[in-house]
Structure 1
Amino acid sequence: MSPTAPLGVFDSGVGGLSVLAELRRALPGQDLLYLADTAHVPYGARSDEDIRTLTDRAVTALHGLGAGAVVVACNTASAFSLAHLRARFDMPIIGLVPAVKPAVQATRSGVVGVLATPGTLRGTLLADVVREWAGPAGVRVLNAVSTELVPLVEAGKADHDQTRAVLREVLTPLVQAGADQLVLGCTHYPFLAPSIRAEFGTTFALLDSGAAVARHTRRVLDGAGLRAPDTASGRVRYFVTGDPARSAPVFAALLAANMHNGAELHRAPAPRIERLHP
């Protein structure tokens, strides 16, 4: 593979656009292929084997499009699929690790919350990182889970009364327990930051792994000789497995939110989105 090979980025839906924004900042010269499996989102409540199968299909499709490396920009897919993918593909496969370490290092109350999907909580990846970092530090980690938040973000309702009601329900117990750090354990959840702040103010510091995975990806591509020079201007192609017309308005809103650091969801021209059948 050469530095001209694009970098594939995969998520079950639109949440990985939060990681894509960080990758574009860290790798300005890299061509990117973003694939959202909108035909099968959300992954959180799916079986372990179903998650692995769908992730394998998506990475195979990105490899077929010429990707020289792939970022699995989905916490649930990372929790169940990384070992399988790395055994199957002769290219770098980069996954997500929930940002528990920086949360543990930053907490003053000794209580950290993790907002995640059922699939991420069911996998071993989160449990392993909690055991490694929170246990030795004597930090209490509390999980909050919802099956509703990912579909709400997918529907373009990241900053909506319905979403805020769900957040109040699932996060209030963390407030009552004294959590001062909130790990956003799903790539969809950075888009909920305005709603979380509207409901809870500065109660939580919000942490996600997007910037860290982008820095790690840059190092991996450097080591593999796959990083395009920063003097170039990288392009992005967008793919979905569902209906592109249905996805376009949400893509436009979330891409605009990324451009404005997630402060608010602005309207923007819809990007060109291609349909892919893995």
Structure 2
Amino acid sequence: MPPIGLFDSGIGGITVLREVRRLLPGEDLLYLADQAHCPYGPRPIDELRAIAATCAAWLIERGAKLIVVACNTASAAALGDLRQRFPETPFVGMVPPVKPAAAHTRSGVVGVLATPTTLEGNLLRDVIEHWANGVRVVPQACHGLVECIEEGALDSPTTVVLLQRYVAPLLDAGADTIVLGCTHYPLVLPQIRALVGDDVHLLDAAPAVAQRVVQVVQERGLAEVPAGMPGSVTYATTGDPQRLARLIERLDLPRGSVIPVTSL
């Protein structure tokens, strides 16, 4: 059965896979963790587009019927380019959930935690222009946070210091709603919650993206799932498969087979 493909620079996009798995438990899922190039955030746009195209081509060669760009940075840099390069393949990308954040805020201030490329990209700018009228959006680039999460160091002193550094300006600005603008960041949601308290609303785009995947599958007639049959989950990594498997288990992410990728 043709799988739904997903890719990210590392484990972050598995937070999206988790939601897709919840809504479409019968679909086969093929996830590419491009850990050899992690993090994507500091890389130039042209390099990100080339990397994203290579990841998408790898998934398409393995039969992916739909591809989720499960990375805000890659979506911001390359989603439009991917749709032009591979017009026969539907793509679903990540957009920081500024629209629901703007609708939810009571203070009129929304914070966005993201990588520099996501904050500078057209996708976020367009969403702010269309949906954040009358709302102040405070961007916060989170240098180094993805690397800590990739190491599984969710509670390390370094991670806590970084989170304190990045969350404080948003709270000081009066934000009562904070957007998690990177698929890695939900993995430190408890740590962020401990810093911001219960009165600040935290928004993760993964559930909405998974809903969009369901919609595309239905609209395009891509569902090929026998009733009651569970789908498989396969992880592929350009890094160390054993390390990825340990991280998946440690972070209680959906289990699946893990294979190496040597030809990307």
TM range (shorter): over 0.9
Q: TM-score, normalised by structure 2?
A: 0.95
C-alpha deviation, 1:200, in angstroms = 2.2
Match of 1:36 among 20, 27, 33: 33
What are the equivalent positions in structure 2 for 1:126-145 lying under 5 Å apart? 126-135=124-133, 138-145=134-141
Percentage of pairs with the same residue? 48
For the residue of structure 2 that corresponds to 1:8, the secondary structure is strand
How many residues of Structure 1 are paired with residues of Structure 2 in the alignment? 261
For the residue of structure 2 that corresponds to 1:213, the secondary structure is helix
For the residue of structure 1 that corresponds to 2:37, the secondary structure is coil
2:94 maps to: 96
Match of 1:208 among 204, 214, 226: 204
Q: Given that residues 114 and 142 in structure 1 are in contact (C-alpha distance below 8 angstroms), is that contact kept between their aligned partners in structure 2?
A: yes
1:179 maps to: 175
In 2, the alpha carbon distance for the partners of 1:173 and 1:80 equals: 26
Q: What residue identity is the alignment partner of 1:51? A: L
Q: Given that residues 233 and 257 in structure 2 are in contact (C-alpha distance below 8 angstroms), is that contact kept between their aligned partners in structure 1?
A: no
In 1, the alpha carbon distance for the partners of 2:154 and 2:201 equals: 18
Unaligned runs of 5+ in 2: none
Q: TM-score, normalised by structure 1?
A: 0.90
Q: What residue identity is the alignment partner of 1:24? A: R
In 2, the alpha carbon distance for the partners of 1:162 and 1:249 equals: 21
In 1, the alpha carbon distance for the partners of 2:243 and 2:232 equals: 23
Deviations 1:128-186 (A, max 9, x none): 10111112xx0000011122110001000123322111111111011111100010000
RMSD: 1.3
C-alpha deviation, 1:247, in angstroms = 2.1
Q: Given that residues 113 and 179 in structure 2 are in contact (C-alpha distance below 8 angstroms), is that contact kept between their aligned partners in structure 1?
A: yes
Match of 1:20 among 10, 17, 39: 17
Q: After the TM superposition, which segments of 4 or more aligned residues of structure 1 sit over 4 Å from their partners?
A: none
In 1, the alpha carbon distance for the partners of 2:248 and 2:143 equals: 21
In 2, the alpha carbon distance for the partners of 1:28 and 1:86 equals: 26
1:73 maps to: 70
Q: What residue identity is the alignment partner of 2:18? A: A
Q: Given that residues 218 and 227 in structure 1 are in contact (C-alpha distance below 8 angstroms), is that contact kept between their aligned partners in structure 2?
A: no
